[in-house]
Structure 1
Amino acid sequence: MLNKLKILLVYKGRYNATLKGPEMRYIALARALNSQGYEVSVAGYDFDTTVHSGFLNFIPINNLWQVFKAFMRSDCVVLHGGGPFLLMLSLLIGFFGKSTVLDNYVPHWVELDEVMKNQGRTTKLEFKSAFNVFRSLMGLLTFNMVIVANRRQQDLLRGMIAPFLRTQGFDRIEVIPFGCEPYTNRSREEGVRLLNSLAENSRLQSTDFLVGWLGGTYGWFDLSALLASMKVAFERNPAIKLVFFGVNEKQREEMLECIPVNIHGNLIFLPWVSFQERFAYWAAFDISLVWGGDGYENDYASRTRNFDCLSLGLPVIQNEDDEWGVRLKSSGAGMITSLESVSDDLLWVSQNEKALQKMHTAMKELAPEFYWERFSEHFASSVNRNKMSLLRRLTGALALMFVLPGIALFFLFGLLSR
C-alpha cells in the first residue's frame, strides 16, 4: 500500500530556527507526507526538536552507519545534493529494488557558474560545478525519477538525457514546484513592531512603504545594478524602505556604496528571523522584491521566496524570468519591471493603494494550486508510477562509466583554458 511507504529525505542542511530553501522544502514536504500516512525520515547535519515537532525521524548525516541503515530501511530515498558516498549508496539501494529520486530543484551548476562570472573562477568552484552536472546526469541515467521546479529546468534535463534515450526518459523528469502554506490574515502593525524589535537602530513606521528582500543575497543576484537603479525611488519617496535579512558586514558596505549617502537610511539590515515565526514578521511588508542577474541563472531559476509570498498574499515586484514572470503577468499578483523602470514602478505602486490591494487579492487566489498537500500527492503518485528494472538501472550505470572520461577531459580543458 502507498501509505505504508518509508520515505527518506536527504540534504546536508541544518534544521534549526533559520532555514534555507532546501530545508524549508523538506520540513514542509515531510509534514504533508506524514499527515497522509507516510513514515518520513530526514537526514541532515542537525535537527532542533524544540523548533520542529517530532513528526519525523532524524538521521545525522555524519554518522555513515546510521545513514546506510536508513537508506536500506527506506522504500524511497530523495536526494538533494550529496557527494560520492551518498550517490553510490543511492545507486546501490536501487539494485535492491528501492526507489531513488534526485531532487534537482535548481540546477546548482548554473548558479555556481554565475557566481564565478561575477566573482572570479576558482578550482574549487569549477570542481563543484562540474560535480553538480555529473550528479544530475547520474540521476537521469540511474534514478527512478528526477524532480525539477519548472518547464525550463525540465527542458534542460531532457536535453541532457536525449543522446542516451532520445525521448524515452522524458517522463521520468517531473515538474513539481515549491509549495506554500494556506493564507492566514496577519497584522501588519504587529509585523512592523516585530521587525523593529530585531535591531535597536530599526525605526520603521507603519506609514512606511516596506519592501522585503525575503531571502539570501547570493552571488548570482545582481544587487549592485538594482540598488543603483532604485536611487530615484528612494529620493522621491523617503517612506520606501528596503529591508534585508542576514546580510554580513562586508556585503552591507558593498550595497551601501551603490547609493548616495543621503539615502542610506532607506536600506534596513536585520538579522534572520525564526523559520516558524517568519510570516508574523513578514506581514509588515507591502511588497516583496526579487531580482535575478542578467545571465543563465535567471533563465532557469525558481524563486522559493515567492512561494512564501503566496502564503502571505504578498505581491511581488521582480524582473522578467520564465516562471514567475509569466505567472505574475497572468494572475495580476505582482509587477514585472526592468532596471530602467524599477524606480518608476516602485514609486507608482507605493502611491497606489487600490492597485496594491488588487495584487494582494490575486496572490491569495493563486495560492491554493501550490499547497504542500498537492506537492506531496503529486510526489507520491510519481514515485509509484516511475519504476525501473534492474537491467535498465545497470545499463544506466554502465553508460555513466563510459561517458565519465569525456566529462573529465572537458573539465581538464576548462581548468587549462581559464
Structure 2
Amino acid sequence: MPIKIAVITDDVVTERMAGPAIRAWHLATELASHGHEVTLFSTRFADRQTADFTVTYSAVATGALEPLREVVAWADCVITQGYTTFFEPWILTQDKYLVVDLYDPIHIELLEAESAASPAEQEIALARAYDALDLQVEFGDFFICASQRQRDLWLGYLSAKRRLNFVNYRVDPELNQLIDLVPFGISNDDPPVTDGHVLRGVVPGIDADAEILLWAGGIYNWFDPVTLIRAVAELRRTRPSVHLVFMGVRHPLADAVADGSLRDAYRVAEELEVLGSHVHFLDGWVPYEQRHQYLLEADLGVSTHFVNAETAYSFRTRMLDYLWCGLPIVCTEGDEFAAIVAADELGEAVPARNVEALRAAIERLLADDNLRAQTRVRVRATAERYRWSSVVQPVVQYCAAPYKSPDGHPTARTIGPVFYAKRDATRRVRHVRAYVEINGWRRLIRRGTERTLAAGLRLVRRPRSSTAANDDPS
C-alpha cells in the first residue's frame, strides 16, 4: 500500500550535490518508483526538480520552520540523516514511522574534520554529534547503513542505548528488522556516451595524448592527496604524459568543510613543480549530471587516504562513480572499498603513505592496455551489485509494510520543556568554556560587563510608553 514519505537532508539539493544529497535524491527516486508519494526536503536550499517526486526546502537555521512542519505533518514516514533531529527534536514527538540513515558516522568523521580546532571547540562539535546520534538511536524505528563494518559499529551503539533487547531479538534474531545494509549506489542507467572533451585539450596543460588519473570528489582532512601528488611527480619522469586531475575540489557547502589537506595539496604540488603541468585542480563543484564526462575521459580512478578510524568506517561515494563508468581503481588500503577492489580485482589497493607502491601500481595499470581492459570488465561486473534499484531494497521493503519498533523505544527521552531547558543550558556551558579557552576569563568578564551596560543604557533610553513616544513634538 503506497504511503507518504518525507526524505529529509541537511545538504543542498542542487545541480551540484555532495554525498548526503545524492543519497537522499536516489532514495526518493526509488521509493517514488514503487508508487509512494515522496517529498525530498532540504533544510538548507533546493532548486533541483523532477517529475518523479516533490522537492522543497526552507532555511531552517534562520527559523523558517513552517515548511518543514508541514512536510512532517503530511508524511506517514520520515527518513532522516545527519543533524536534522538534533536541531529539530520536535520531529521525534510526531507519530511517524522513523527511518534513520546512518551511512555517515558523523562522530568519527569529526575526529579528522575538527583536528585543527581548539580542545573546547572539538568538545562542542563532538558533543553535538553524540547528542544527534543519541536522539536518532533512541527514537528510530528502522536504521540503515552502508557496509557490514558500519553495521557492526552501529549495533554496538544500539546496544549501548539498549535497543538490542529481548523484544527486538525475538522478532528477528538477525536484527535486520532493526538495522540493515543500504550501500551507496550507482545510477540504474549506464553513463551517457559523449563525443566531446572536458579535460584533454580543454584544461591548460592536458594534451590529447594525456594519461589521466581522476580524483572524483572533494579533498577533506581525512584524505591524503600529498602522497598521490608525490607519486605522480616521480612517475612523470618515466611517463611524462601522466596527469592527475582533482575534479571539483570545493564542496557545495565549502564553509562547513575542513580544508587543511586541500591547502597541503596545493603547496606540495607547487613545491614539486607539477602544479598546472601534471597536477590540476578544477575549482568549484562539477554538476551532478555532468560528472560522467570527466569520468569517461579518465584512464584510472584514484583515491588515497590516511589509515585511521574514519577510514575504517567510511564508504567512499566517489568509488561508486568509478564503478559506474568502468574505471580501474588505484586506492589506499584500510577502508571497506579497498577490500572490494582487492577481492574483485578492480585495480590495486596499496599501503597508506607509500609513494613508491602507489607510483608502481599506477604505472602497472597505465603501461598494460590488456590489464586495464580486463580490469574494466571486472569493474563493470561489480557495478551491477550497486545499482540503486538493488541496494535500496531494504528501505523499499520497510516502506511497503512500515512498522514501529517492537521494543517501543525503551530509552527514548521525553521531548518537552525540561529536555529543551537542559539541552540549552548544556550548550551555553560548552560555548562559554570554548570562549574562555580561546579568549581568556578577562575578555569574557569585559564582554559581559559591556553587554550589561549596553542593555542598561537601552532600558534607560527606552520611552516609558507608546503614548509618551507618540507625544514627542519632533
TM-score computed with the length of structure 2 as normaliser: 0.76
For the pair 1:263 / 2:267, whether they are aligned, the reply is no
In the TM superposition, residue 243 of structure 1 has moved relative to its aligned partner by 0.3
Report SS of the residue matched to 1:257.
Answer: helix
In the alignment of these two chains, the number of paired residues is 401
For the pair 1:214 / 2:216, whether they are aligned, the reply is yes
Cα 1:84–1:330 shift into 2, 3 Å: closer
For the pair 1:131 / 2:115, whether they are aligned, the reply is no
Question: Residue 282 of structure 1 aligns with which residue?
Answer: 295
Cα 1:158–1:107 shift into 2, 3 Å: same
Cα 1:343–1:197 shift into 2, 3 Å: closer
Written as runs of structure 1 = structure 2, the 5 A alignment for 1:5-84 is 5-44=3-42, 45-49=44-48, 52-62=49-59, 63-83=64-84
Q: Larger C-alpha radius of gyration, 1 or 2? A: 2
Note the alpha carbon deviations across 1:384-418, whole angstroms, 9 max, x for none.
5663269713643369x99x99xx79x97x97999
Question: Residue 349 of structure 2 aligns with which residue?
Answer: 336
Checking the alignment, whether the CA contact within 8 Å between 1:183 and 1:367 is kept in structure 2 is: no
Percent sequence identity is 21
Match of 1:110 among 98, 108, 117: 108
Question: Residue 244 of structure 2 aligns with which residue?
Answer: 242
Question: Residue 369 of structure 1 aligns with which residue?
Answer: 385
Distance 1:232 1:167 in 2: 56
Cα 1:254–1:134 shift into 2, 3 Å: same
Structure 2: any 5+ residue segments left out of the alignment?
169-174, 251-258, 439-474
Report SS of the residue matched to 2:311.
Answer: helix
Checking the alignment, whether the CA contact within 8 Å between 1:114 and 1:296 is kept in structure 2 is: no
Match of 1:382 among 398, 409, 414: 398
**What amino acid is the match of 1:233?**
L
**What amino acid is the match of 1:368?**
E
Cα 1:301–1:391 shift into 2, 3 Å: closer
Report SS of the residue matched to 1:48.
Answer: coil
Match of 2:325 among 312, 336, 347: 312
TM-score computed with the length of structure 1 as normaliser: 0.85
Of stretches 154-163 and 258-267 in structure 1, the one that deviates more from structure 2 is: 258-267
In the TM superposition, residue 71 of structure 1 has moved relative to its aligned partner by 0.5
Distance 1:11 1:185 in 2: 26
Distance 1:303 1:283 in 2: 19
Distance 1:39 1:197 in 2: 46
**What amino acid is the match of 1:294?**
V
Distance 1:106 1:250 in 2: 21
Checking the alignment, whether the CA contact within 8 Å between 2:85 and 2:91 is kept in structure 1 is: no
Checking the alignment, whether the CA contact within 8 Å between 2:182 and 2:392 is kept in structure 1 is: no
In the TM superposition, residue 196 of structure 1 has moved relative to its aligned partner by 5.1
Written as runs of structure 1 = structure 2, the 5 A alignment for 1:170-189 is 170-171=175-176, 172-182=178-188, 184=190
Match of 2:144 among 143, 147, 154: 147
In the TM superposition, residue 365 of structure 1 has moved relative to its aligned partner by 0.7
For the pair 1:194 / 2:202, whether they are aligned, the reply is no
Distance 2:194 2:101 in 1: 35
Distance 2:383 2:274 in 1: 35
Of stretches 249-258 and 351-360 in structure 1, the one that deviates more from structure 2 is: 249-258
Structure 1: any 5+ residue segments left out of the alignment?
none
Question: Residue 254 of structure 1 aligns with which residue?
Answer: 264
In the TM superposition, residue 182 of structure 1 has moved relative to its aligned partner by 3.8
